[in-house]
Amino acid sequence: MANALQTTEGKKSLSIRQTGSLLASGRPVIQFCTFWLANRLFGVDILDVREINQEQKATPVFHAPPEVRGYVNIRGQVLLALDLRVMLGFPPNQDATNTRLVVFKPEVGESFGVVVDRVGDIVEATAEQIEEREVLGEEFQISQGKELILGECKLTDKLVILLNPSKFLSYLDKE
Amino acid sequence: MDIVADYTAESRELLEQAEGDLLSLERMGENADPDIIHRLFRTIHSIKGGAAFLGFHNINELAHALESLLSQMRNHEISSTREVMDLLLEGTDRVRHMIHNIHDSNTENLGSLPKRILTLVGSEDTPAQTPAPTQAMTQPPVQSPAQSTQPITPPANQGASTLMQIAGLSVSREALTQVNSRHQNIYLLTYDLTHLPGGETPAGLTAKLSREGVILSGGLNLEGRRLEDGVPQGALPAQVLVASWLLPDFMEVLSRLPSENIQRVGQLEDLLNQPAQSVAQSPAPIVPPAVQPVAPPVAPPSAAPAGYIQGPDQTEAHIRADFSAEGGHIAAATSQENATPTAIDAATHMMAKAEASDTIRINITVIDKLMRLAAELVLLRNQFIRWADHTDPVSRHLSHGLDIVTSEIQEGVMATRMQPVGNLLGKFPRVVRDLSRSLGKEIEIEMLGREVEMDKALVDALNGPMTHLVRNACDHGLETPQERVRAGKPPVGRLLLHAFHEGGQINLVIKDDGRGIDTAAVRRRALERGLKTESDLNDMSEEEIHSLIFLPGFSTAQRVTDVSGRGVGMDVVRTTVNELGGHVEIHSVQGKGSTITLKLPLTLAIIPCLIVKSGEQRYAVPQVNVEELVAVGIDAKSQNIEFAGDREVYRLRNRLLPIVRLNDVLAQPETFSPETRRQIMERHRLEDGTTLGGHVVVMKFGTKRLGMMVDRIQGMEEIVVKPVHPALKHLPCYSGATVMGDGQVALILDVPGVAKHTGVSAHMDDLVDQAQAQSSQKDQRENVLLFANGPQEQFAMPLSLIKRVERIERKDIERVGEREFITIDGVSTQIIRLDQYLNVSPPVGEAEELFLILPKLIRRSLGVLATQVIDIEDASLKLNVDSHLEDGLMGSSILRGRMTLFLDIHRMADRSQASLQYYSGIQAPTNTAVAPGRKVLVVEDSAFFRNIVRDLLTQNGLEVETAGDGQDALRAMDKNRYDLIVSDLQMPVMNGFDLARNVRARKAEVPMIALSSLDSDRDIQAAKEAGFNHYHVKLDKKALLGLVKQVLEAAHPEDFSGAQASSAAAATAPQAWM
């Protein structure tokens, strides 16, 4: 289960952290790794994801901000697990049966991952389907974490809220 | 293979040694040791040879100038005046600089330096100019394809006319004339630099060739680099022109080259007889066709190198075999040729020794990787052992094996990272020399413990702080000679750098006998800078005031010099040391000097930790911070915890210890305010004014202590430290994380951070019973653990030497042959039963539950068995150390009204290593007074034998002092007079033979007994010739005693004639406590 998903990296693809914008990456088709949080579907650029792990028991770090779930050990490496629900202002998750840890590549930020309710499919979107805009507020009932959100992606059957993982760690400092 | 990198690495090592040599040369002044000059000469020569070989002409030129100077010193044509020394130092510095920036070395402007050196050497050797400067400026050293051969020319004196072309390489005529006339054969050797035969390095090769001849010139043949020849990039042919006494056959063996790569191009004599110009203009008579030297006739020149170099392995193997077979012949031939052994032979011999080094260079990243993997292996081992079925014998056997191998791998890998502190300290004599000059002071530096090893990362990281501290001591600490004389001190200031192990840590001490810290000045400055208020300062001890110099922005220097005093140093020192997991202590007495001690962990990657629990969470407390564990009325009301001000304190042996609870620390993210502390205190205060007890970890940091109450204590574990995640760096309470045996992450607590978080500060010391603290300082007191083994004796061991006490069960003890083991923390630990080593009573009965006292600072895992742990007692360390003390005891004292034996745990550890039988053999007391009161110096490098001999002689009424090697012994003899010297022969630094020669050279008549395991007639003869009066084979105790008696009797017949009753009685008195 350790490597449920290993991303493949196209040689010429640019990820969001290189361009600051999904659309500016110049990729005709962008793949997203999607996951569920409080019944909303979110997506991150698949090029930013290192692997997805079954969530392990995290060791709490007292005195750390509430967004920090704790330290987890992934094959001898100590990672910092963040709680994306807390970061986006959702209530705590009651059902932990399908939770996963989405681990990001070192280029995104030093050894960290986020805990999500459950993972979704990998979806593909063209530039036309992506809209980079503020989606905070009424529409999705997301009360905070504005700077984490890039925009949305409209697929035929569903809507994906796009996140920028390279902002996740710096979000901890804002308090 | 990067040859240039190899050359620079080796040159750096050589230069490091050269610097030490230069400094000792300078100290010797007029009476320079010729051996050192020779060594320097060889060093510079090797560097020069390598530079010539690789085409670094600037280095070559400068080295040549230095070499000429050294050669004159060697021939006593010039003495080591200050000017000479300065030039030599400047020159070697410059060479080092160029070696460091090797690829720019050829464009370096040497200025007048070579000329100045050569001017000193004598006018006839002064070069008119450096060779071809303009060309040099524009040409990169090795890679240039512009020329087929890049000639390297030793500095020529009278311009181009003296340059001779030999085999396409230019050689200065002047260089030829300097060649020893026995090196008649001139060879042109062609090497492939990318595949030097037998894995040789260029410097090694140069040294080898230089031993049997003189390298005249060298160059790279880059013609074969044309792509159209279709030659793979592989071979890089280099040519070396050597004059040697060796005949072609031997040259083949020495150079390890096939014969077609060795060309004899002429005779030295012929070349010298030829008029210079004709040689320069018509190289034809001696030089074979320019392209041919490399190639066998059929092959095109470019293809040749690749061909022969990758040639049949057979050839190479054959040559190698020849070499080893012929090696003896060469040596024999050398000594025949040169019947009287000269200093050159000595130097050559030394080089040969250096070359046969059994070390290899490894890139540090490889080691780091191994280190990481070893750490992972340890974790896997821990997990496996937890999982393995211990009831199954096969599984138990396998996990035991895995356990041992893993531990050894871990230790081994750690050992590869260890470097002697000498690497760090080595540069300081020079630093101090230069500083003392520029400051107009006289400073003598002494270094102890250079061999102490520490992690490479630490050695690297400490360079800055140590340099600062040394500079500081020289600049601020030590006075000028005038000031010193006025203060009644010797004019020469002393600086001591001392490294040693203590308490699982490395201590680095920087001690000077200068003016010390001016407490009043520090106070003034602290007030001025607003760092502390008047009332703060009044509350502080002198030591704490001194520690203020570590605050950022503090500097007491009256003036800012370029040496120190920029006010940015000391706080950086402390920060760096703290970051490395260590701390700094300062002790200073005004007018007497200062001592700064850096205490550092042995390694950074794996540290022993105490694992404690708060709820279900585990936390690791570094063992260096753990002083002791105290159980304060577990889960019961404790009368011993008191309330003082806004916190709980525990009275621990008359010192008040502030108490915090880990649960409270974790629950409170903000730094404790007095209000929080009060609230917490009130929460724990029960109605009757008591509070609940628990497990208290007594933690120390710097000079302070803090008690932390935890829910549970799980035990000690060696953990692999992982850094704190950068996003959490600001949390003060953690210093890292680690993965535990079950795969869960645990946090490492940062003890100073926890203290700061909870507001335990310097003020806490007010609570300490001052009187108690002071009295304990006066008369060296220490906490000792009292315990018992048999019914009759009470034993004691200082707590500072104890790692911890483990409760064990008899059934877990396993016997292996004579010895007993038990597994503690997954490590097989040898059990020491005191009644087997000392003449003490065995335990009565078979108690199921026993105690194992695990000492600190012992490499091997062992523990002392105790049947009963009595208590911890504050005891004076003034012990009764009667001469009849048994081996393994430090002394005795009366504690709690009982005679108590203090264990010498290190001796016990030594002894446990030797077989029990052996000991029981030599332990039989031989109490016959020999010549009471006579002083004997025992010189022996092995602590083990040294102690045996010492104990044997002291038991027999002699006064014994010991020394670790010959030089140590000579120093001891400067201070004391001895009636007898008993010395080992094989010792490091100065062996027994040299010691005897030195002693005799001093006209000292003292009788000397050689004690050695060498017993050939030749050795005995050599020892006698060196000046020993007697020879004794090690470890025949009775005979040794007899011999000592006989020797002393001959020297002092009066001792034996009459009254020896009193001291003899003392020596033979029954050992009181048995």
- Max distance between CA atoms of chain B, in angstroms, equals 113
Distance CA B573, CA B566 (A): 13
Asked whether residue A90 is assigned to any structural domain, the reply reads yes
Are B725 and A60 in contact (CB < 8 Å)? no
Are A68 and B728 in contact (CB < 8 Å)? yes
Q: Which of B659-673, B787-801, B884-898 has the highest mean pLDDT?
A: B659-673
Min CA distance, A51 vs chain B (Å)?
A: 19
B817 and B868 inside one domain: yes
Distance CA B873, CA B14 (A): 54
For B670, which residue in chain A has the nearest alpha carbon? A63
B311 and B443 inside one domain: no
**Higher-confidence residue: B732 or B164?**
B732
Region B536-552: mean pLDDT is 80
B209 and B317 inside one domain: yes
Given A63, A73, A172, which is nearest B744 (Cβ)?
A73
Is the pLDDT at B47 greater than 60? The verdict is: yes
Distance CA B188, CA B260 (A): 10
Region B442-455: mean pLDDT is 86
Asked whether residue B1054 is assigned to any structural domain, the reply reads yes
- The residue written with tokens 């034998």 in the block is B945
Q: How many domains does chain A have?
A: 1
Asked whether residue B339 is assigned to any structural domain, the reply reads no
Q: 3-state class of A73 per DSSP?
A: strand
Whether B620 has its CB under 8 Å from any CB of chain A: the answer is no
Q: Which of B166-180, B394-408, B573-587 has the highest mean pLDDT?
A: B394-408
- pLDDT digit string (tens) for B948-978? 678 778 877 788 888 888 888 888 888 888 8
For B754, which residue in chain A has the nearest alpha carbon? A63
Are B666 and A62 in contact (CB < 8 Å)? yes
Residue of B427, B425, B433 lying closest to B86 (CA atoms): B433
Is the pLDDT at B142 greater than 60? The verdict is: no
Region B447-455: mean pLDDT is 85
B827 forms beta bridges with: B824
Given A60, A63, A111, which is nearest B725 (Cβ)?
A111
Are B725 and A73 in contact (CB < 8 Å)? no
Asked whether residue B347 is assigned to any structural domain, the reply reads no
Two structure tokens written together for B8: 């620079």
Distance CA B113, CA B129 (A): 12
Residue B132: pLDDT band with limits 50, 70, 90: very low
Residue A44: pLDDT band with limits 50, 70, 90: very high
Asked whether residue A1 is assigned to any structural domain, the reply reads no
Distance CA B1066, CA B236 (A): 78
Is the pLDDT at B449 greater than 60? The verdict is: yes
> What is residue A156's predicted lDDT score, i.e. its pLDDT?
86
pLDDT > 90: percent of chain B: 5
Is the pLDDT at B1055 greater than 70? The verdict is: no
Distance CA B733, CA B754 (A): 5
Is the pLDDT at B1065 greater than 50? The verdict is: no
Are B726 and A110 in contact (CB < 8 Å)? yes
**Higher-confidence residue: B1053 or B85?**
B85
CA B921 to chain centroid, in Å, comes to 36
For B379, which residue in chain A has the nearest alpha carbon? A76
Cβ burial, residue B486 (10 Å; 0-12/13-18/19+): exposed
Asked whether residue A9 is assigned to any structural domain, the reply reads no
For A60, which residue in chain B has the nearest alpha carbon? B617
> What is residue B943's predicted lDDT score, i.e. its pLDDT?
63
B71 and B161 inside one domain: no
Region B608-626: mean pLDDT is 90
Is the pLDDT at B225 greater than 90? The verdict is: no
**Higher-confidence residue: B161 or B12?**
B12
Given A76, A80, A173, which is nearest B725 (Cβ)?
A80
> Which residue range(s) make up the domain with B916?
779-920
Given B376, B727, B738, which is nearest A80 (Cβ)?
B727
> Which residue range(s) make up the domain with A146?
16-174
Mutation pick from B660, B719, B745 vs chain A, by most beta carbons of A within 10 Å, is: B745
Beta-carbon contacts of residue B714 (< 8 Å; ≥ 6 apart): B611, B612, B613, B618
Q: How many domains does chain B have?
A: 7
- pLDDT digit string (tens) for B727-763? 998 898 998 898 887 888 999 998 888 988 988 754 4
- The residue written with tokens 């810290």 in the block is B517
Asked whether residue B739 is assigned to any structural domain, the reply reads yes
Is the pLDDT at A103 greater than 90? The verdict is: yes
User: Dihedral of CA B598/B424/B81/B158: which sign?
Assistant: negative
Are A59 and B744 in contact (CB < 8 Å)? yes
Chain A hits for B743, CB-CB cut-off 8 Å, are: 73
Is the pLDDT at B350 greater than 90? The verdict is: no
For residue B976, the tally of other CB atoms under 10 A from its CB is 11
> What is residue B945's predicted lDDT score, i.e. its pLDDT?
65
Whether B356 has its CB under 8 Å from any CB of chain A: the answer is no
Mean pLDDT check: name the lowest of B84-98, B171-185, B379-393, B571-585. Answer: B171-185
- pLDDT digit string (tens) for B285-312? 444 444 434 434 443 444 334 333 343 4
> What is residue B65's predicted lDDT score, i.e. its pLDDT?
86
Distance CA B248, CA B230 (A): 33
> What is residue B1056's predicted lDDT score, i.e. its pLDDT?
59
> What is residue B558's predicted lDDT score, i.e. its pLDDT?
44
Q: 3-state class of B442 per DSSP?
A: coil
CA distances to B891, B914, B988, B1051 from B945, in Å: 20, 12, 15, 26
Two structure tokens written together for B1019: 């050795």
Q: Torsions phi, psi of B368, nearest 5?
A: -60, -40
Asked whether residue B24 is assigned to any structural domain, the reply reads yes
Helix or strand (DSSP H, E) at B631: strand B626-638
- pLDDT digit string (tens) for B58-96? 888 888 888 888 888 877 778 778 788 888 888 888 888
> What is residue B133's predicted lDDT score, i.e. its pLDDT?
39
B885 and B1019 inside one domain: no
For B743, which residue in chain A has the nearest alpha carbon? A73
Two structure tokens written together for B476: 């601020």
Distance CA B42, CA B209 (A): 12
Is the pLDDT at B150 greater than 90? The verdict is: no
For B374, which residue in chain A has the nearest alpha carbon? A76
B801 and B740 inside one domain: no
> What is residue B653's predicted lDDT score, i.e. its pLDDT?
73
Q: What is the SS3 string spanning B983-1034?
A: EECCCCCCCHHHHHHHHHHCCCCCCEEEEECCCCHHHHHHHHHHCCCEEEEC
> What is residue B883's predicted lDDT score, i.e. its pLDDT?
45
CATH of the domain at B632: 2.40.50.180
Min CA distance, B644 vs chain A (Å)?
A: 27
Are B669 and A63 in contact (CB < 8 Å)? yes
- Tell me the pLDDT of chain B averaged across its residues: 74
Min CA distance, A11 vs chain B (Å)?
A: 28
Is the pLDDT at B1053 greater than 90? The verdict is: no
Whether B589 has its CB under 8 Å from any CB of chain A: the answer is no
Are B743 and A73 in contact (CB < 8 Å)? yes
Residue A81: pLDDT band with limits 50, 70, 90: very high
> What is residue B771's predicted lDDT score, i.e. its pLDDT?
32
Min CA distance, A63 vs chain B (Å)?
A: 4
Region B164-182: mean pLDDT is 73
**Higher-confidence residue: B40 or A44?**
A44
Given B379, B725, B731, which is nearest A76 (Cβ)?
B379
- pLDDT digit string (tens) for B909-921? 777 765 333 333 3
Asked whether residue B352 is assigned to any structural domain, the reply reads no
For residue B112, the tally of other CB atoms under 10 A from its CB is 8
Asked whether residue A10 is assigned to any structural domain, the reply reads no
Are B666 and A63 in contact (CB < 8 Å)? yes
Two structure tokens written together for B1039: 């005979």
- pLDDT digit string (tens) for B659-695? 899 999 999 898 888 888 888 888 888 777 777 778 8
Whether A54 has its CB under 8 Å from any CB of chain B: the answer is no
The B residues from 698 to 727 touching A (CB cutoff 8 Å) are: 722, 725-727
Whether A2 has its CB under 8 Å from any CB of chain B: the answer is no
CATH of the domain at B122: 1.20.120.160
CA distances to A52, A80, B311, B728, B760 from A171, in Å: 22, 14, 64, 12, 32
Asked whether residue B342 is assigned to any structural domain, the reply reads no
B852 forms beta bridges with: B806, B865
Chain A hits for B745, CB-CB cut-off 8 Å, are: 58-59, 70-73, 78
> What is residue B146's predicted lDDT score, i.e. its pLDDT?
41
Angle value at C-alpha A21, between A17 and A23, nearest 5 degrees: 130
Given B617, B725, B738, which is nearest A60 (Cβ)?
B617
B447 and B543 inside one domain: yes
Given A63, A72, A173, which is nearest B745 (Cβ)?
A72
Chain B hits for A62, CB-CB cut-off 8 Å, are: 666-667, 669, 733
Chain A hits for B744, CB-CB cut-off 8 Å, are: 57, 59, 73
B438 and B501 inside one domain: yes
Chain B hits for A70, CB-CB cut-off 8 Å, are: 745
Are B722 and A78 in contact (CB < 8 Å)? yes
Is the pLDDT at A118 greater than 90? The verdict is: yes
Angle value at C-alpha B94, between B93 and B95, nearest 5 degrees: 90
Whether A57 has its CB under 8 Å from any CB of chain B: the answer is yes
Distance CA B763, CA B768 (A): 10
> What is residue B882's predicted lDDT score, i.e. its pLDDT?
56
Min CA distance, A76 vs chain B (Å)?
A: 7
Please list the alpha-helical segments (H only) found in B490-647: 519-528, 534-538, 542-547, 569-579
Is the pLDDT at A113 greater than 50? The verdict is: yes
The A residues from 132 to 171 touching B (CB cutoff 8 Å) are: 169
Q: What is the SS3 string spanning B472-514?
A: HHHHHHCCCHHHHHHCCCCCCEEEEEEEEEECCEEEEEEEECC
Residue of B736, B515, B509, B791 lying closest to B605 (CA atoms): B736
Min CA distance, B738 vs chain A (Å)?
A: 8
B697 and B835 inside one domain: no
- The residue written with tokens 């895992």 in the block is B861
**Higher-confidence residue: B928 or B84?**
B84
B936 and B1037 inside one domain: yes
Region B146-157: mean pLDDT is 42
B839 and B894 inside one domain: yes
B263 and B321 inside one domain: yes
Are B747 and A76 in contact (CB < 8 Å)? no
Residue A13: pLDDT band with limits 50, 70, 90: low
Asked whether residue B340 is assigned to any structural domain, the reply reads no
CATH of the domain at A40: 2.40.50.180
Asked whether residue A42 is assigned to any structural domain, the reply reads yes
Two structure tokens written together for A5: 């998903």
Region B938-942: mean pLDDT is 80
Are A169 and B727 in contact (CB < 8 Å)? yes
Chain A hits for B748, CB-CB cut-off 8 Å, are: none
Are B745 and A68 in contact (CB < 8 Å)? no
Angle value at C-alpha B191, between B185 and B195, nearest 5 degrees: 150
Q: Torsions phi, psi of B680, nearest 5?
A: -60, -40
Distance CA B843, CA B834 (A): 10
Q: How many CB pairs under 8 A join A and B?
A: 57
- Which residue, of B920, B955, B984, is where some domain finishes? B920
E-strand ranges in B825-896 read 827-832, 849-855, 862-866, 868-876, 889-895
Given A63, A68, A112, which is nearest B733 (Cβ)?
A63
Are B727 and A73 in contact (CB < 8 Å)? no
Is the pLDDT at A120 greater than 90? The verdict is: yes
A38 phi-psi bin (left φ>0, alpha ψ -120 to 50, beta other): left
Asked whether residue A22 is assigned to any structural domain, the reply reads yes
